[in-house]
Each structure stands twice: as C-alpha cells, then as structure tokens.
Amino acid sequence: MTTADERMLEALSRALNFEEDGVAYYSQAMLASSSNLALDVLRTLRDEEVKHKEQILAIFNEVKAGGSWKGEDEPGSPMPDFVSVFEQLGGNPPKEVSEGEIAALQHALEVEVKGRGMYEELASNAPTEPEKAFYEKLGGEEIEHIKMIEDAIEYFDDPEGWFQKRAIRVRSSSICTRLMRACGGISKARNSTSPRRPVAESGEYSLSMQN
C-alpha cells in the first residue's frame, strides 16, 4: 500500500467515524422523541447519515483492496427539506414538543456544523479531483442538514412566526416569478419589429401585476 493510499484511507476513516457517530446519535434521539414531526426530522437526518456512511465505506473498501478512487458515477438524490417533511404529515402542527427534543435538535445542529467544517477541510487537502469533489458534495449535503435543523428549531420555537415567514417566502417567490415573466415579455417586445405595450382604459401605457 502506497503512502497516498494510507493518507486516503486515513481521511476516509475520519469521515466514516463521523457518520457512524451521527447514525448512532440520531437513532438514540429517535427513541426519546414523542412528536411525529420531530421524529420524522430525526429519521430523515439519520437516513442521510446512513447514506453517507455507505458511500464512504464503499470507497474505503475499494481503496483498501488495492483499487483506485474512481468517484461516483451518478449524483445522489436531493434530500427532503423541513417543509417536505412537514407536508408529508399533512401540515398538522404537533400537539407538543418536549424540551428534550429541542435540545436534541440543537445538539444535532452543532454536530452538523462540525461535519461541514470537517468536509471543507478534507476537500481543501484532497490531492485529487475525485476526492475533492466527493468531500465537497458531502459538505454541501451537511449544509442542507443544517438548514433543515434550523428550520425545525425555528418552527418548534415559534410556529406562528414560522408560518408567517413561510407565507412571505412563497408570496415573494410568486411575485418574482411574475416579474421575470413580465420582464421577459418586455424584452421580447423591445426586440420585435413592431413593439407594443399594453394600453390602459385611460389611453396611457401601463404594466399591471395583480397580487
């Protein structure tokens, strides 16, 4: 085994230990969860760590057996966000969320932040492109984990405020979509041989967008 292989296996072992600890933590936290929503968030995160563990272990075994790091042939499927998990339960607020469940999510947030930092470090030190791309992918997925946990904590802390922010986001997204469509229409009109703009009843030109 070459020095490069030993270094590669050492980095993979570090990542593997992190993911194994994550699986164990989320599995234990699920046992203490009584809220369906908190349980599904923890289950989703646990399943993501299992997926990471399997991906890392496959590469580890390949390299240890004398093979080379070939990278992944296909991109992984995107993980669901907190809203998706919430909607899968019918969008019904949980009856009660314990302080222990909130504490479990807060600790999970700390763990995921450390994981993101670890993968950023591994990616920056990776000597080959397949290694760098792999660790960058895992780091990006850790960021998605962080977003999910932050969203869950915010919801459990202030459900009404979370719904209000969500409504604003959806409304803003809808308005932006209509604005882009309108601007695209304007651009096409300006590039046409016979540019025209909508005329209001008063005879003046206008561009109207209703909310």
- 59 residue type, one letter: I
For helices 99-125 and 36-64, give the axis angle rounded to 10 degrees.
30
Looking up tokens 């496959």 gives 58
Query: What pLDDT is stored for residue 23 in this prediction?
Result: 96
Query: What pLDDT is stored for residue 161 in this prediction?
Result: 81
* Secondary structure string (H, E, C) spanning 26-66: HHHHHHCCCCHHHHHHHHHHHHHHHHHHHHHHHHHHHHHCC
Query: What pLDDT is stored for residue 52 in this prediction?
Result: 94
Q: How is residue 193 annotated by DSSP? A: S
Ordered per-residue pLDDT tens for the chain, 211 residues: 688 888 999 999 999 999 999 999 999 999 988 888 888 889 999 999 999 999 999 999 988 888 777 655 455 566 666 677 666 655 565 556 788 889 999 999 999 999 999 999 999 999 889 999 999 999 999 999 999 899 888 888 887 787 777 776 655 555 445 444 544 544 444 444 444 444 444 444 333 334 4
Render the burial of 126-157: b for 16+ CB within 10 Å, e for the rest.
beeeebbebbbbbbebbeebbebbebbbebbe
- Secondary structure class of 205 (helix, strand, coil): strand
Distance CA 114, CA 7 (A): 21
SS3 percent helix, strand, coil of the chain, rounded to 5, is: 75, 0, 25
Query: What pLDDT is stored for residue 94 in this prediction?
Result: 59
pTM across the whole model: 0.72
Distance CA 69, CA 53 (A): 16
